[in-house]
Amino acid sequence: MSHASREDVGEREFAHVLRAAVQRRGLGLERLRERLQARGASVSVATLSYWQSGRSRPERADSLRALAVLEDILELDDGELRGLLPPPRPRGRLSPPTVERSSLMPSGDVVKSLLGELGVDEAALTRLSLHDIYHLHEDRQTRVQRVRQVHRAESPDARSWPVVHMLVPAPDTPPRITPVQGCVIGAHRERADLGLAVAELVLPRPLDRGDTALTEYEVDVVANGEPWTDLERGLPQRLRELVLEVHFHPADVPSSCVAYTVVDGVEEWWPLRLQGGLAHLMLRDFGPGTCGIRWEW
């Protein structure tokens, strides 16, 4: 069995044992988080969920310390979970320059199929920068997202770029994508049951190789019955600059906020300081991978 295969098996077994232990103890993830925090180990509910689903694994020193506390809370033998983890991955390893966008999202097969229906050549444009601005309403559920991005043409006659937005859990109405500047909406597909919208952003004119284009659009999201507690971006390519910016309603600001990244299954997170009702994350030369902001009300 190859080293990569052993890693995959180890991660699956770790997730399975953790998930079974949580179910056996009958503790919800929020209750687990509270018990960990009471013992000086800060782990978010989303991180616990990622660990038990196999989406990411603990590797940082503070995460491994928290895992030792978690073993005790779940009444497992000392080192039972830690012993299932494969060796830490070497830092500084190079990720592939591009991954499939669908691999970074839930229901990836559906996303891949809908993108195939659009027929957009993603290699024709390279996204250089991305700025997401979110405004949350007082109900904690409704939000407006404005997206600004800069692309560079890699081939003659480059003219379109696909965008994908998904809501979890899915509301009754999928997100609505509206062009604001530098583009119009071409072909588009929706899956209301998944809270999924896929659309083609079309530039006013084809670009020559090396030209850049600035586009801006909005995404309106209706209430889905669940308070928003996180915002996430999956990046299939390395990005020179990324900014995620969240504006909370002044009457309802969260009690705490963290930023996170997930690359090659490894999650890193750190606290964010709220500036009034604003939290933001800035990354340079990041991707492929996933990043986002989480908060607690």
Q: How far apart are CA 249 and CA 235, in angstroms?
A: 28
Give me 144's structure tokens. Answer: 């407006």
Q: How far apart are CA 143 and CA 124, in angstroms?
A: 31
Place of tokens 């939290």: 279
Q: How far apart are CA 65 and CA 58, in angstroms?
A: 10
Q: What is the mean pLDDT of each run of 10 residues along the chain (297 residues)?
A: 40 81 86 86 80 76 83 87 70 56 80 88 90 91 90 92 84 87 94 90 93 94 79 90 94 91 85 90 91 93
pLDDT score, position 241: 94
Give me 197's structure tokens. Answer: 């919208």
Domains detected in the chain: 3-84 (1.10.260), 101-296 (2.60.40)
Residue 99 bridge partners (DSSP): none
The helix (run of H) or strand (run of E) holding residue 277 is none
The helix (run of H) or strand (run of E) holding residue 73 is helix 61-73
pLDDT score, position 153: 94
Written as one string, the DSSP assignment of 15-70 is HHHHHHHHHHHT--HHHHHHHHHHTT----HHHHHHHHHTS-B--SHHHHHHHHHH
Across the chain, how many H-helices and E-strands are there? 5, 13
Residues 133-156 as b or e (16 or more Cβ within 10 Å = b): bbebeeebbbbebbbbbbbbbeee
Q: How far apart are CA 93 and CA 189, in angstroms?
A: 36
Length of the chain: 297
pLDDT score, position 204: 94
pLDDT score, position 68: 87
pLDDT score, position 111: 87
Place of tokens 């971006």: 233
φ, ψ for residue 96, nearest 5 deg: -60, 150
Give me 282's structure tokens. Answer: 């800035």
Is the Cβ–Cβ distance between 154 and 137 less than 8 Å?
no
